[in-house]
Amino acid sequence: MVIYMDNAATSYPKPKEVLAAMNHFFHEIGGNPGRSGHRLSLESGEIVYDTRDALAQLFNIEDPLQIVFTLNATMAVNTALSGLLKPGDHVVTSVLEHNSVARPLRHLEDNGVELTRVSCPAPNYQLDLVQLEKSIRKNTRLIAILHGSNVVGTVFPLEEVGKIAQKHGVYFLVDAAQTAGAYTIDVQKAGIHLLAFTGHKGLFGPQGTGGLYVDPKVKLEKLYRGGTGSMSEADRQPEFMPDSLESGTPNAMGLAGLGAGVHFILKEGLTKIREKEIELTNSLMRGLTDIPGIKIIGEEKAQNRMPLVSFLMEHVSPSTIGEILDERYNIMTRVGLHCSPWAHETMGTYPEGTVRISLSYLNTLSEVDTLLEAVREITREEVRV
């Protein structure tokens, strides 16, 4: 039996409701949503709308039609950044960003957008809010930050950043790839103008799903154009949402699964999900701390971090540990840079990276115990590996 602890890359397993919804779509529906007039197309459209509606409920979004479906968080972030920014604009971001924010921003910087990276100092790698506010200039158009770090588990205070954005009249983009589905994200309370999320991690949907919430005040240039099933007589893109930013047949079967994932989360409740995650993380961190030769990076308190832990072992490289955990113990983790070279430069773990254990609501305490025993054994054998 495999123990899966790579949920920050993609969650596995998924709740059984997710497969049931996709199975139902595959066998009973199959139609193209919002395209044809027959009942299977209409039912498909209703399923896609229901997923939009469930997400709107989860993120406290007033109008579900302000959510644009994408293939993942990366596509959502690209839609937001390239749709908003022009040469001469300034963006404030953080040094913990994933490449899905870092790379589009570097590309825009190469094309005339100015960029400031705010530090997140050790030991807990929290965002420096004073520096963030000080770095805002006359031409600052956007603050673009992640909510939770996929490398070190830090969770940024969205409401405080949102207040700074509002005070200075700049837009606020949040990359919620790691936190959606476990943390309260209230776009209205936190003043979020653009919320990028992915379907296949904490939302328990399948890969190939994700989306972007766009505040009605924000007008984005389109990343691409095409058929929407609406205004078919016009050869120009509709200007209304979500069609303005959402062209081509969506991954309707995937969105059926994503909807089931979000309904599962709404049914369980974010409080219960977070409590379980904290319990697992607490046990993981206490266990790792007791093993000689292990160094945990970042925030010490389990309740202040996401359910993921990056660690180093004296004398054994992260890649060796990952290999042994997989091959000898059937435990799946992720080692290396986790698509986040900026974060590892910040933590001093570049270029080798770390071993990352990332848990989900569906992991168990006994799985954590098995992992801890495996790590203990590896440290005892370190001379031989």
Ligand X SMILES: Cc1ncc(COP(=O)(O)O)c(C=O)c1O
Contact residues for ligand X, defined by CB under 6 A: 72-74, 98, 100, 146, 150, 175, 177-178, 198, 210, 339
Least separation in angstroms between CB 97 and ligand X: 7
Least separation in angstroms between CB 338 and ligand X: 7
CA distances to 287, 299, 309, 310 from 333, rounded to whole Å, are: 17, 20, 11, 10
Measured CA to CA, the distance from residue 273 to residue 289 in angstroms comes to 24
Of 44 and 74, the one with the shorter C-beta distance to ligand X is: 74
Of 34 and 210, the one with the shorter C-beta distance to ligand X is: 210
Element (H, E) at 131: helix 129-134
Element (H, E) at 26: none
Least separation in angstroms between CB 322 and ligand X: 16
Of 157 and 269, the one with the shorter C-beta distance to ligand X is: 157
Q: List alpha helices for 209-364, DSSP H.
A: 252-268, 270-289, 318-329, 341-347
Q: Which of 315, 268, 273 is nearest to 293 (CA)?
A: 315
Taking every pair of Cα atoms in the chain, the longest distance, rounded to a whole number of angstroms, is 71
Of 29 and 258, the one with the shorter C-beta distance to ligand X is: 258
Spell out the residues 6+ positions from residue 212 whose beta carbon is closer than 8 angstroms to its own: 67, 68, 70, 76, 77, 79, 80, 194, 195, 196, 197, 245
**How many Cβ atoms sit within 10 Å of the Cβ of residue 118?**
21
Least separation in angstroms between CB 310 and ligand X: 12
Dihedrals phi, psi of 355, to nearest 5 degrees: -95, 130
Least separation in angstroms between CB 150 and ligand X: 3
Contact assessment for residue 305 and residue 154, using Cβ atoms and an 8 Å cutoff: yes
Contact assessment for residue 314 and residue 382, using Cβ atoms and an 8 Å cutoff: yes
Of 246 and 372, the one with the shorter C-beta distance to ligand X is: 246
Least separation in angstroms between CB 311 and ligand X: 18
Of 93 and 150, the one with the shorter C-beta distance to ligand X is: 150
Least separation in angstroms between CB 235 and ligand X: 31
Of 198 and 349, the one with the shorter C-beta distance to ligand X is: 198
CA distances to 282, 300, 314, 376, 383 from 289, rounded to whole Å, are: 10, 10, 13, 11, 20
Least separation in angstroms between CB 304 and ligand X: 17
Spell out the residues 6+ positions from residue 16 whose beta carbon is closer than 8 angstroms to its own: none
Quote the tokens at residue 40.
Answer: 């299977």
Of 100 and 140, the one with the shorter C-beta distance to ligand X is: 100
Give the single-character DSSP code of 64. G
Of 180 and 372, the one with the shorter C-beta distance to ligand X is: 180
Least separation in angstroms between CB 94 and ligand X: 11
Of 45 and 210, the one with the shorter C-beta distance to ligand X is: 210
CA distances to 228, 290, 376 from 314, rounded to whole Å, are: 55, 14, 12
Q: List alpha helices for 30-98, DSSP H.
A: 39-59, 73-84
Least separation in angstroms between CB 84 and ligand X: 18
